[in-house]
């Protein structure tokens, strides 16, 4: 009996009730309680008082929690027949976690951010396309301008051909020039115009330092009519300087330093023609 | 009890209505954060429900068994890494409702009687009892915390409980 009293007073029963002992000690206390009714009674007393102490310190949990917890337990039952009663569904409705609204703003913010990024990307794409279109438009306009110029030009040329005041003259090779060299020019006295038909310039290609210069011999004096390049690719009718004289003795072409000379270098005369 | 063992719905409802506030009293003193404490209360009932077969009346009162489950789960929770990290990352917006919820905590009206109860306990008896019962300390940790020998802790604990027994009887 003394042993039992000492055992009770050791405080181990209190620790047992508080769950604060090792597994071995726990088994020992349970064995002792099974053997001695006095220990069992003491344990029961301690448990009762602790239970009442807990009741005195109770805190009522949130009302919603009841539905939530009971539902989670009943869900575990699975196909249990008690589960499908209508009142369970009422419980279902109650269980709303309180922290939902704050999450909403989080998601809303994330959604806004995603939308902003997506719009930004879309805007960049659109901007790039706009830039491309603008470039293409500029290219097309340049092309259009080019063609308009070209049409103008060709019309001018056609005009020359149609104009009856123009007379054509073939300048023939001098001994200086290669055999077969020639240039076709057109001259209108009335309009004081001289054109060189570049498509019919059969001359050696001039180098970078030199150019061909067209002269008119008026009353025995050479008159400068401008320079041109012999380029096999060009097909224009090149309009030269205006010529005031209504009567010329002849037209001649000399090879001069680039830009032309004031007086012709007579020993470089390549072609010559008279009306 | 039989209904519980047969896993009937009415039994778990009765169990919840009888004990949830007492268990929550213990849990919510260990875990300050309301949503976490509520989670632990739920885990507690799940565990009670699932391991009810392992409880036997010979081992002691039902509440003792349940409160130990609750206390262990609560202590596991606050010592888990997850919970520590979560505490560091408390967001501002969440704290607003958190504080609101704390204000709204429903106190058991019977708590008003606790004052008179506390007067029956000496301060050192109450502090040791609450450390072990409500804060989840082991008696060894409590001895460290209060700076008194282990034997003294055990004696005070016993005296506190004897005092409680007198009070309740």
DSSP labels, B62-129: HHHHHHHHHHHHHHHHHHSHHHHHHHHT--HHHHHHHHHHHHHPEEPGGGGGHHHHHHHS-HHHHHHH
Residues of chain B with Cβ-Cβ distance to A34 below 8 Å are: 58
* Cβ contact B168–A82 (<8 Å): no
* Cβ contact A51–B61 (<8 Å): yes
Average pLDDT, chain A: 82
Question: Which of A49, A73, A82 is closest, CB to CB, to B164?
Answer: A49
pLDDT: is B6 or A263 the higher one? A263
Give CA–CA dist B17/B15, Å, rounded. 6
| pLDDT above 50 for B108 | no
Mean pLDDT computed over A142-152: 93
Greatest Cα-to-Cα distance within chain A, rounded to the nearest angstrom: 163
| pLDDT above 90 for A111 | yes
What's the pLDDT at A95?
54
Q: What percent of chain B has pLDDT over 90?
A: 0
| pLDDT above 60 for B28 | yes
Bridge partner residues of A216 (DSSP): A223, A251
What's the pLDDT at B110?
46
* Cβ contact A65–B42 (<8 Å): yes
Residues of chain A with Cβ-Cβ distance to B101 below 8 Å are: 98
Buried-exposed string B148-161: b where 16+ CB fall within 10 A, e elsewhere: eeeeebbbbbbbbb
Residues of chain A with Cβ-Cβ distance to B136 below 8 Å are: none
User: What's the pLDDT band for B85 if we cut at 50, 70, 90?
Assistant: low
User: What's the pLDDT band for A94 if we cut at 50, 70, 90?
Assistant: low
Mean pLDDT computed over A246-252: 83
pLDDT: is B121 or A6 the higher one? A6
Mean pLDDT computed over A97-105: 67
Average pLDDT, chain B: 74
Q: What percent of chain B has pLDDT over 70?
A: 71
* Cβ contact B114–A59 (<8 Å): no
User: What's the pLDDT band for B86 if we cut at 50, 70, 90?
Assistant: low
User: What's the pLDDT band for B109 if we cut at 50, 70, 90?
Assistant: very low
- DSSP annotation of A202 reads B
Contact between B68 and A19 (Cβ < 8 Å): yes
| pLDDT above 90 for A48 | no
How many other CB atoms sit within 10 Å of the CB of residue B95? 12
What's the pLDDT at B89?
54
* Cβ contact B138–A58 (<8 Å): no
A84 touches chain B (CB under 8 A): no
Q: Which residue of A has its CA nearest to B155?
A: A11
| pLDDT above 70 for A63 | yes
What's the pLDDT at A100?
53
How many other CB atoms sit within 10 Å of the CB of residue A130? 10
Highest mean pLDDT pick, A65-79, A133-147, A155-169? A133-147
Helix, strand, coil percent values for chain A (each to nearest 5): 50, 20, 25
What's the pLDDT at A237?
78
Rounded to two decimals, the ipTM of the complex is: 0.70
| pLDDT above 80 for B168 | no
pLDDT in tens, A15-43: 888 877 888 888 888 888 888 888 888 88
Chosen from B5, B11, B38, B130 to mutate, greatest number of chain A CBs within 10 A = B38
Helical axes A37-56 vs B62-79, angle rounded to 10°: 60
- State CA B43 to chain mean position distance: 13
Q: Which helix (H) or strand (E) holds A32?
A: helix A23-35
User: What's the pLDDT band for A217 if we cut at 50, 70, 90?
Assistant: confident
| pLDDT above 50 for A229 | yes
Bridge partner residues of B12 (DSSP): none
| pLDDT above 70 for B146 | yes
| pLDDT above 50 for A256 | yes
| pLDDT above 90 for A221 | no
Mean pLDDT computed over A90-119: 76
pLDDT in tens, B30-53: 888 888 888 888 888 888 888 887
User: What's the pLDDT band for A49 if we cut at 50, 70, 90?
Assistant: confident
| pLDDT above 50 for A219 | yes
What's the pLDDT at B18?
85
Cβ within 8 Å of B, A 22-51: 30, 34, 43-51
CA-based nearest residue to A196, from A253, A115, A116, A134: A253
Residues of chain B with Cβ-Cβ distance to A73 below 8 Å are: 12, 45-46, 49
Give CA–CA dist B150/B156, Å, rounded. 10
pLDDT: is A1 or B74 the higher one? B74
């Amino acid at each position: 009996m003394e042993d039992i009293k000492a055992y009770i007073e050791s405080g181990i029963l209190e620790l047992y009730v508080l769950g604060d002992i090792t597994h071995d000690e726990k088994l020992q206390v349970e064995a002792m309680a099974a053997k001695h009714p006095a220990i069992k009674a003491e344990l029961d007393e301690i448990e009762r008082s602790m239970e009442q102490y807990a009741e005195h310190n109770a805190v009522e949990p949130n009302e919603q929690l009841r539905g939530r917890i009971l539902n989670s337990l009943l869900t575990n039952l699975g196909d249990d027949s008690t589960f499908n009663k209508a009142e369970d569904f009422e419980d279902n409705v109650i269980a709303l976690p309180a922290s939902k609204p704050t999450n909403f703003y989080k998601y809303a913010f994330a959604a806004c951010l995603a939308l902003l990024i997506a719009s930004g990307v879309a805007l960049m794409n659109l901007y790039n396309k706009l830039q491309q279109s603008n470039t293409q438009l500029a290219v097309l306009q340049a092309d259009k301008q080019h063609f308009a110029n070209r049409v103008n030009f060709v019309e001018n040329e056609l005009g020359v051909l149609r104009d009856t005041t123009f007379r054509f003259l073939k300048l023939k090779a001098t001994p200086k020039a290669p055999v077969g060299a020639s240039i076709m020019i057109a001259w209108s006295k009335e309009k004081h115009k001289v054109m060189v038909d570049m498509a019919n310039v059969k001359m050696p290609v001039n180098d970078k330092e030199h150019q061909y210069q067209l002269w008119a011999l008026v009353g025995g004096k050479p008159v400068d009519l401008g320079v041109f390049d012999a380029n096999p690719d060009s097909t224009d009718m090149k309009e030269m300087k205006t010529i005031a004289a209504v009567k010329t003795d002849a037209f001649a072409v000399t090879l001069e330093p680039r830009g032309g000379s004031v007086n012709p270098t007579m020993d470089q005369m390549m072609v010559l023609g008279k009306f | 009890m039989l209904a519980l063992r047969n896993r009937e719905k009415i039994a778990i409802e009765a169990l919840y209505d009888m004990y949830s506030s007492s268990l929550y009293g213990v849990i919510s003193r260990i875990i300050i954060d309301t949503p976490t404490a509520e989670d632990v209360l739920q885990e507690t009932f799940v565990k009670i429900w699932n391991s009810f077969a392992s409880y036997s009346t010979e081992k002691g009162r039902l509440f003792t068994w349940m409160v130990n489950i609750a206390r262990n789960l609560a202590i596991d929770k606050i010592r888990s890494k997850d919970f520590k990290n979560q505490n560091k990352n408390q967001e501002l917006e969440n704290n607003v409702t958190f504080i609101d919820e704390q204000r709204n905590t429903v106190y058991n009206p019977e708590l008003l009687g606790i004052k008179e109860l506390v007067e029956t306990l000496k301060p050192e008896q109450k502090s040791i009892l609450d450390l072990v019962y409500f804060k989840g300390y082991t008696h060894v940790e409590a001895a460290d915390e209060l700076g008194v020998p282990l034997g003294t802790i055990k004696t005070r604990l016993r005296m506190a409980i004897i005092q409680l027994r007198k009070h309740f009887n």
